[in-house]
Chains A and B, each alone.
Chain A
């Protein structure tokens, strides 16, 4: 079948007129990526604390970086599918006679709700903190675990 070109503009192809724009967008993405270095910006919720959520067959693991927050000041609560982390980071007062050269660490309150893709076994949730990293282990509810289905061949 003969395909007629509707115009002799070299970049316009009737199949996908957006090809050229797509290519330009990819080039610009690549250029802007070079400015930020080897790490592309991770999409975050923009709420403190930033978390990493991982899963294996039985559990979800939620890890958050919370330096200097003692565990008894952390408020962790779990409902069927969500985890709420709240608390406050305080910076201890130093003596009056100190003069600051730099002040980069911040103090303040935080609260974050993280919803997980599957139902959780609320009674078995455990949490521990080590070196300023909080790890919460959330077991999945039995109904949410994948079940292997055996295929019978007759």
Chain B
């Protein structure tokens, strides 16, 4: 059996997007790459939010719409001149409409190394219960 080799990462540019409401500060807006998966008890969202500090991240859940807004802090000092510029910094923005009812009081967000892990536990009633069918 051949060993599977790790495939090499392709360079992807950040996806620019127009938001329905304009942001108060001018600048570019990007859609971050996300993974969303669900288990019986919760929904988990993982987003690549590079250059974002925890205080600049806003997570909103309203009317079953989840909104992520995060400002990237550019790291360049004021005396620096550009030699090569391949990516830009701006604001990350993404909205998702959630179908299941989420227990809002138990949402957890962890931001580490530029990756956000958002855990949204489902309301107890929404977790499927197995109903045993009795044969009469």
Contacts and interface: CB of A to CB of B under 8 A. Distances in A.
A66 B49 CA distance: 10
Contact of A105 (B48, B51, B82, B113): B48
A131 B79 CA distance: 22
Contacts of A50: 11, 13, 86-87
A105 B46 contact: yes
Interface in B4-49: 6-13, 16, 18, 28, 33-40, 44, 46, 48-49
Contact of B8 (A37, A68, A110, A116): A110
Nearest to B114: A132
Given A52-B86, A56-B80, A67-B48, A106 B9 contact: yes
Nearest to A44: B86
Residue of A37, A50, A99, A109 with most chain B CB atoms under a 10 A cut-off: A50
A48 B12 CA distance: 7
A102 interface: yes
Contacts of A48: 8-12
Contact of A42 (B13, B35, B79, B114): B13
A61 B80 CA distance: 8
A96 to B, nearest CB: 9
B115 A68 contact: yes
Interface string B75-94: 11101111111111000000
B19 to A, nearest CB: 12
Given A46-B11, A67-B48, A131 B114 contact: yes
A66 B114 CA distance: 8
A50 B83 CA distance: 13
Interface in B72-124: 75-77, 79-88, 111, 113-115
Contacts of A110: 8-9
- Closest A-B pairs by Cβ, 10 of them: A132-B114, A67-B114, A54-B80, A132-B50, A108-B9, A50-B86, A104-B33, A53-B84, A65-B50, A48-B11
Interface of A: 36-39, 41-57, 60-61, 63, 65-70, 88-89, 91, 94-95, 97-111, 114, 116-117, 129-133, 135
29 contacts: A36-B16, A41-B13, A43-B86, A44-B13, A45-B86, A48-B8, A48-B9, A51-B86, A52-B76, A53-B85, A54-B80, A54-B81, A54-B82, A55-B80, A55-B83, A56-B80, A57-B79, A88-B6, A99-B37, A100-B37, A101-B36, A101-B38, A103-B35, A106-B9, A107-B6, A109-B9, A110-B8, A110-B9, A132-B49
